[in-house]
Amino acid sequence: MKWDTVIGLEVHAQLATATKLFSAAPTVFGAPANTQTSFVDAGFPGTLPVLNREAVLMALKFGLAINGQINDYCFFERKNYFYPDLPKGYQISQYAQPIISNGYLNIEDGNLCKKIWIERAHLEEDAGKLIHDPEKGRSMIDLNRAGIPLLEIVTAPCLHSINEAILYLKTLHQLLRFLGICDGNMQEGSFRCDANISLKPKGSQQLGCRVELKNLNSFRFIEKALTYEQQRQQLLLDQGRPVSQETRLFCENTGTTKLMRSKETAQDYRYIPDPDLLPINLAEFDQRTIKNNLPPLPFTLKNSLQQMGLHKEDIQFLLASPANYNFYAAVVAQGSVDHNLLVQWLRGSCAAVLKEHKRDFSDPPFTAQDFFKLVNALQKETITAFRAKKFLAAAVTEGSNLADLVAQEEIQTLVPSASIEEFIEGLLRNNPQQVYDYQQGNEKIFGYFIGKVMHFCKGQADPKQIHALLKKFLH
Amino acid sequence: MNSFSISEALTALSKGTLSSVELVTNCLQQIAQHKKLNALISLVDAGHALAQAQEADSLRAAGKGSIFTGIPIVHKDNFCTIGLRTTCGSRMLANFVPPYEATIVHKLTQAGAITLGKTNMDEFAMGSTGETSYFGSTLNPWHQQYSPGGSSSGSASAVAAGLALAATGSDTGGSIRQPAAFCGVSGLKPTYGRVSRYGLIAYASSFDQAGVIAKSAEDLALLLKTIAGVDDKDATSLCYPVPDYPSLLNQSLRGVRIALPRAFFQETIATPEVRQAIDAAVHVFVDAGAQIIEVELKYLHLWVPCYYLIACAEASTNLARYDGLRFGLQVQDTETVHDMVMHSRSLGFGSEVKRRILAGTHALTAQNFSASYLQALKIRRLIQQELLAIFTQADLLIGPTTPTPAPRLGLAMSNNSTTYDSDIFTVGANLAGIPAISIPVGFHRQLPLGMQIMASHFAEAKLLNAAHQYQKMTDWHKYAPPQKEKKI
């Protein structure tokens, strides 16, 4: 290819504070329109913004986690423009002095390993939402989202392939969640991405003309949009035609990008330091303590899990969300346990039954302590896998207590050997043809007999025991 | 009773020679008789006010009163009052009824004050003659062809005419002090951050300060003690202890160092009558033992342009929220949101407001920012430093409040820059964030003249003390406008 691809990414992450960046209104997603909107959020006359300290703390955590420069003297500025979802006619943001600058994130998968430079991360308030109702010929404004804290994270134009871009986004997404500062829910708008992409002649130092892409609502769509745009630009450049600097929207239906607005007349936001807010007093925050108390971060966790001998897919599962990892860690903290067995069960039956009932590890219907008991029992073989699965299902659907189920099972006598033997004898006596077929070499009959014995035992017998007994009787 | 100060009223109330009902009734009568002054935009229901007065009398009788129990006051119409229309003197907010109230209103109400109404003002506090109000000009109670000043036009006029015993005001470039001077009453602009701005509808955020207008420095001290203090709803309010101002008014003036800037007293800056009145006032201080220090104000010529540039820039963004979508004037039957917002703002704002928004917007554009706004910020710091340096050698800085007595109504509209220039003495305190007071020091042809005293940050006690001492030795503050209109 005669063109190099250059990508820069801007992520807006909603910080998981209880209240908004400048007011005490709550930030819960999905509330009825305008029920989580204070007069400050709605820009009513005479109201004033007051900074939410928790948001600053979260931004600091991010800055420390990416080894960024924490800017001791930083302040808020007003970004001025008129739009119905912007109640004050300006957005309180940061421009000249962001809270964080010059950090980095290491990305790696099997094939590549790279350091991605994050030029800046700054705090700003989110805007409201417009809901269009073409049928009734009107648009409606919901200000619940107005004022929610955002951390805008901007990379340098240092991503050189779409793979790198997606890997960076996934790594960033994971980091934010493991820091506990953003829930990363893209459907709810907690993690939003705009991409800038340009092409330049291979090996050239000079960047080409970039196009901004918006409306990218999932990793899959981001990949599609970048791919399409890369091809579109390549086609133009191959024909000797220039790429215009513009903003394009991604259309999910067609998988293409189309022009939203031309950036030749870039908007002048007339930034002005916000006179209602003091510069952020970072001296209040003990950065060293904050850094030491950061939760264990994905790349550290990955290393330790690798050292424990877990497989790549298992590690991926555990690090897919903080809830997954935290639950695993909580179980491990209960005592000695077979890690592989534990992860196998978490990733397999446990995850499956949770997913089936639209739940996850953030709020499981059993405690880590109870789950530890289950895995222990499996390890000691005092319960069977079959029964264990049933117990998990019961915990999810009926709210039964997992530990009680396990305990009961261990007390209950399994079907005594004598009874099984008696049954097997009768079974074989009543099915002489099958016995003969098996002895002639039809292995499948064995499975048929196993099934019959299991059914008789109602799952309350050790499969290995059944297997051994049957073999004994058949030979 | 018309010229009762709060202190006098409180004495009479506690003695039982006066009741709140009588006081409020009297004020309501004054209001009715002085409708022509157009000092009030909104008036509360008389029955409601009298009921409050009755309750105040009962509370006092039971020994349960607070500082201002039963004292009738009015609020400038840019302070949000719950359930009571708050217009900012503008068509844009002509029907805006706030569901929350300004902290200063809350504090005064909690202290027992009875709100009688909302006072007229220059639109969005932009103006110094009262003539930019959508609700018509306020008249000066001393002479009805003359301006009461602005932007707290109605507040000063109301106190002078006895419509209430005190009024709240806001001061961004002199909007409390200048009308106080023109109306012969006392007005205080506290240190920036001394009083909460929550609920004060913003004009220029880094200058705006809530303050009070009353008949005497003694009254101002009482009022300041109640309204001062940090507010967690205003991030620019400061956590600084509130002294017991009323108990600090009796320090001797002996040895007090008073700075007189040479530039404040040169011939061209103020009319002879103003300069003479200030001279006479300074002599009173000297006779009481104060020392005079002459100082320079190298940057005085930059005060007015620096103020207007920054104030207009801040105003342009503060007023961007008036788009007709959530509150305020909304023009109907437009095709697009853009049209609706454009027409609502065009119709809702008067010409002075538009002028300042445009000037401010211009100053903040990318190509002008460095040379205009940023440069003004730097100059502001120089102006502040120069003033603060004076206060390392002096306790107070004295000068005229205004270059002239009140102008005739109708002059200002024809010549903006002259009007802006008349703020020369007052804008410095807003630029530096320091406290300043204006008190009456004489008359010229029955029009009041005012003197301004400034001090360093949080030195309101010094200001009030000096003003009170002066008012003990003189009686300019005791004059009230004639009840019948006087023609010049």
Distance between start and end Cα atoms, chain A:
69
CB count in 10 Å sphere of residue B413: 14
Measured between CA atoms, the residue of chain A closest to residue B87 is A45
Taking CB atoms and an 8 Å limit, are B205 and A276 in contact across chains?
A: yes
Asked if B235's CB is within 8 angstroms of A276's CB, the reply is yes
Residue A385: pLDDT over 90: no
Task: Establish if B199 touches chain A: CB-CB under 8 angstroms.
Answer: yes
For residues B464, B466, B472 and B478, what is the CA-based torsion angle, rounded to 10 degrees? -60
Q: What are the start-end ranges of the E strands in A202-312?
A: 211-216, 246-251, 256-262, 272-273, 280-281
> How confident is the model at residue B488, as a pLDDT?
44
Q: How far apart are CA B11 and CA B18, in angstroms?
A: 9
Give me the mean pLDDT over the B365-369 stretch. 96
Mutate to test the interface with A, among B95, B312, B317 (most CBs of A within 10 A): B317
Helix and strand element counts for chain B (H, E): 15, 11
Nearest C-alpha neighbor of B242 from the set B222, B261, B258, B259? B222
- Which pLDDT score, from 0 to 100, does residue A415 have? 67
State yes or no: pLDDT of A263 exceeds 60: no
Looking at residue B412, its pLDDT comes to: 64
Do A45 and B98 count as a contact with CB atoms less than 8 A apart? yes
Mean of all residue pLDDT scores within chain B: 96
Q: Do A51 and B197 touch (CB under 8 A)?
A: no
8 Å CB contact between B324 and B334: no
Closest to B226 in 3D by CA, of B373, B90, B66: B66
What is the arithmetic mean of pLDDT over A235-249? Answer: 92
d(CA B367, CA B374): 12
Supply the pLDDT for residue B487.
45
In this model, does residue A412 exceed pLDDT 80? no
Whether the per-residue pLDDT at A211 is higher than 60: the answer is yes
- CA-based nearest residue in chain B for residue A273: B314
> Comparing A181-195, A356-370, A442-456, A458-472, which segment has the lowest mean pLDDT?
A458-472
Judged by CB atoms closer than 8 Å, whether chains meet at A48 and B198 is answered as yes
Model pLDDT for residues A132-142, shown as the tens digit of each residue: 999 998 899 99
What number is the average pLDDT over the span B240-250? Answer: 97
Q: Return the pLDDT at A451.
A: 87
Give the pairing of strands A100-108 and A69-70.
antiparallel
Q: What is the pTM of this model?
A: 0.90
Residue B99, pLDDT above cutoff 60: yes
User: Inter-chain contact A272–B317, Cβ cutoff 8 Å?
Assistant: yes
Query: Model confidence at A264, in pLDDT bands (50, 70, 90)?
Result: low
Lowest mean pLDDT among A113-122, A394-403, B238-247: A394-403
pLDDT score, position A381: 81
Residues A433-439 have a mean pLDDT of 87
User: Counting beta carbons within 10 angstroms of the beta carbon of residue B271, is it exposed (0 to 12), middle (13 to 18) or buried (19 or more)?
Assistant: middle
B255 token code pair: 């040895």
H-helix segments, A107-218:
162-179
Residue (of B436, B468, B397) closest to B169 by Cα position:
B436
Per-residue pLDDT at B486: 46
CA dihedral defined by A384, A390, A391, A393, rounded to 10 degrees? 150
Least confident interval from A166-170, A348-352, B239-243, B322-326: A348-352
Residue B102 C-alpha from the chain's centroid: 16
Among B residues 93-132, those touching chain A with beta carbons less than 8 Å apart = 93, 96, 98-100, 102
Residues of chain B neighbouring A268 (CB-CB closer than 8 A): 365-366
C-alpha distance from A176 to closest chain B C-alpha (Å): 29
Q: Of how many residues is chain B composed?
A: 488
Neighbours of B436 (CB within 10 A): 30
- Partners of residue A141 in chain B, C-beta under 8 Å: 325
Q: Is B171 helix (H, G, I), strand (E, B) or coil?
A: strand
Among B320, B338, B366, whose Cβ lies nearest the Cβ of A90?
B320
Taking only the tens place, the pLDDT of each residue in A302-314 is 999 999 888 889 9
**pLDDT digit string (tens) for B401-449?**
999 999 999 986 656 777 788 899 999 999 999 999 999 999 999 999 9
How far apart are the CA of A273 and the nearest CA of chain B, in angstroms? 10
DSSP assignment letter at A142: E
Parallel, antiparallel, or unpaired: how do β-strands B186-189 and A149-155 relate?
Answer: unpaired
Residues of B noted as catalytic: 76, 151, 175
What mean pLDDT is reported for chain A?
A: 91
Tell me the average pLDDT across B30-44.
97
- Residues A155, A159, A163: CA angle, nearest 5 degrees: 125
Q: Give the pLDDT of residue B414.
A: 55
Instruction: Name residue B16's amino acid.
Output: G
Q: What is the pLDDT of residue B288?
A: 97
Contacts of B197 in chain A (CB under 8 A): 48
Q: Torsion angle, CA of A341/A346/A347/A351, rounded to 10 degrees?
A: 150
Beta-bridge partners for B15: none
Lowest mean pLDDT: which of A379-393, B67-81, B152-166, B383-397? Answer: A379-393
What are the pLDDT digits (tens) for B157-182?
999 999 999 999 999 999 999 999 99
List, for residues B469-485, the tens digit of each pLDDT value: 999 999 999 999 987 54
Mean pLDDT lowest among A68-72, A198-202, A399-403, B139-143: A399-403
The predicted pLDDT at position B323 comes to: 96
The alpha carbon of residue B426 is apart from the nearest alpha carbon of chain A, in Å, by: 21
User: What is the mean pLDDT of the segment spanning B215-241?
Assistant: 98
Angstroms from A77 CA to nearest CA on chain B? 11
The per-residue pLDDT for A413 is 52
Nearest Cα residue in chain B from A81: B320
The continuous run of DSSP H or E covering B417 comes out as: helix B416-421
Is B232 in Cβ contact with A50 (below 8 Å)? Answer: yes
Sign (positive or negative) of CA dihedral A235, A239, A240, A241: negative
